[in-house]
């Protein structure tokens, strides 16, 4: 058993997968006549902007000709990579983006505005739960990410985070399979097709974490399993929780107080990591949405499909596509505007209170500043998403 775990955790396994997919690590040495020997006539693409990763300079994205005179940009520890299969490269980079903020702030609200707020509510609830479990496990287990070399690392933001479990795998598995389990009671579709889509999409996200060099196979497998176990345990109580969430007078208090408490008591590390900030972002969004759904229920305007459920999927017509695009564009613009205003105001107030410069990066990472400003910002984003945007659509005749 130990041998299997060690094999799945091995960095060389990740590097082998990368090479199978056409991604190769190229060692660059400074001040040589030809630092990049292109022996097989394959063009090597290099990013020229250097970032610091654990003391290594990583050269990242821009084409550098073999005859260029940029050798002085390299250091003895510089890393460059060669891409031989651009189709897989783009596919896995796009798949990896499904675990980032840009996906959450677009896909989940779009589902709310264009299909069914019920489904969005289910996804947000499960997403917040599994992501908190995954983030905490990372900082409790403290298992490092794959080593580079031999692995090519294509991301830098989360480098300071620990590896196991993969929260991309957790999020992808929970979102796509929660949607698969919840949708049959709301909309008519062929379950087998939905199952295939869920398997393919979550599988692509999981494999993208190997391709980008950010997780071992063990990290990814554990992430998917954790998500599956949490869903299996909680599934019988989904409806009961939603009734309490929408009808209990204590719901908005619990929705705000409990996540905020969990963010403040998040496990402390001996170095700064993005996990606490990301967890606060997720909990803030979920808290705002929860309060928003409760408010809509009290007002009797839930914006859910009317008639006998499950309803047929909306026809894909030019008029419907134009209407959906308009809702998506205006809705995302409203959320981005809310985020920017709330972030700016909350940061200025907190930095003024603690008497630190608003542009001091280290000060903004302090718990007493990072947690409240991110929680306030994303709680307001969630509230605007659930309460304001749909009413704005009604005023514009888009709903």
Work out the number of other CB atoms within 10 angstroms of the CB of residue 207. Answer: 20
Q: Which two tokens stand for residue 392?
A: 């704005």
Closest CA to 390 of 109, 105, 101, 124: 109
Which residues, including other chains, have CB under 8 Å from residue 149's CB and lie 6 or more apart?
15, 25, 27, 79
SS3 at position 220: helix
Longest dimension (CA), the chain: 73
Residue 208 CB burial class (10 angstroms; 0-12, 13-18, ≥19):
buried
Task: With beta carbons less than 8 A apart as the criterion, state whether 231 and 223 touch.
Answer: no
DSSP E strand stretches across 234-372: 311-312
Known active-site residue 100: no
225-238 b/e (C-beta count within 10 Å ≥ 16 → b): ebbeebbeeeeeeb
Q: Could you tell me the strand order of the sheet in which 23-27 lies?
A: 23-27, 79-83, 56-63, 45-53
Catalytic residue among 29, 89, 100, 168: 168
SS3 at position 41: coil
Catalytic residue among 112, 215, 271, 359: 215
Please tell me what DSSP assigns to residue 386.
I
Q: CA–CA distance from 159 to each of 9, 54, 77, 101, 277 (Å)?
A: 17, 8, 17, 17, 14
Known active-site residue 112: no
Closest CA to 25 of 211, 146, 149: 149
Closest CA to 381 of 61, 91, 109, 97: 109
Pairing of strands 187-188, 311-312: parallel
Task: With beta carbons less than 8 A apart as the criterion, state whether 381 and 338 touch.
Answer: yes
H or E, element range at 39: none
Please tell me what DSSP assigns to residue 184.
G
Q: Supply the residues annotated as catalytic.
A: 168, 215
């Amino acid at each position: 058993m130990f041998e299997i775990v060690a094999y799945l955790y091995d960095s060389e396994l990740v590097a082998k997968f990368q090479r199978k997919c056409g991604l190769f690590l190229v060692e660059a040495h400074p001040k040589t006549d030809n630092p990049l020997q292109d022996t097989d006539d394959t063009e090597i693409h290099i990013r020229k902007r250097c970032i610091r990763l654990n003391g290594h300079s990583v050269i990242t994205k821009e084409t550098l000709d073999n005859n260029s005179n940029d050798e002085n940009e390299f250091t003895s520890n510089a890393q460059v990579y060669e891409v031989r299969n651009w189709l897989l490269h783009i596919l896995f980079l796009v798949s990896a983006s499904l675990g980032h903020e840009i996906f959450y702030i677009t896909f989940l609200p779009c589902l709310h505005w264009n299909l069914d707020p019920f489904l969005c509510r289910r996804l947000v609830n499960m997403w917040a739960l599994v992501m908190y479990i995954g983030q905490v496990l990372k900082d409790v287990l403290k298992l490092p990410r794959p080593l580079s070399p031999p692995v090519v690392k294509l991301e830098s933001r989360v480098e300071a985070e620990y590896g196991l479990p993969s929260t991309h795998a957790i999020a992808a598995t929970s979102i796509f399979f929660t949607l698969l389990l919840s949708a049959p009671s709301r909309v008519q579709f062929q379950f087998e097709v939905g199952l295939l889509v869920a398997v393919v999409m979550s599988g692509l996200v999981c494999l993208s974490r190997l391709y980008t060099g950010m997780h071992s196979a063990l990290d990814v497998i554990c992430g998917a399993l954790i998500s599956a176990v949490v869903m299996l345990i909680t599934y019988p109580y989904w409806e009961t929780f939603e009734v309490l969430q929408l009808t209990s007078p204590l719901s908005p208090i619990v929705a705000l107080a409990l996540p905020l408490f969990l963010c403040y008591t998040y496990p402390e590390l001996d170095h700064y990591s993005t996990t606490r900030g990301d967890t606060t972002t997720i909990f803030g969004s979920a808290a705002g949405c929860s309060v928003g759904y409760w408010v809509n229920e009290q007002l009797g305007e839930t914006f859910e499909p009317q008639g006998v459920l499950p309803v047929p999927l909306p026809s894909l017509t030019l008029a419907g596509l134009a209407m959906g695009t308009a809702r998506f564009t205006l809705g995302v613009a409203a959320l981005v505007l809310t985020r920017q205003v709330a972030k700016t105001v909350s940061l200025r107030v907190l930095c003024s209170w603690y008497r630190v410069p608003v542009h001091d990066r280290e000060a903004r990472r302090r718990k007493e500043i990072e947690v409240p400003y991110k929680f306030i910002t994303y709680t307001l984003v969630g509230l605007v998403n659930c309460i304001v945007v749909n009413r704005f659509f009604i005023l514009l005749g888009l709903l």
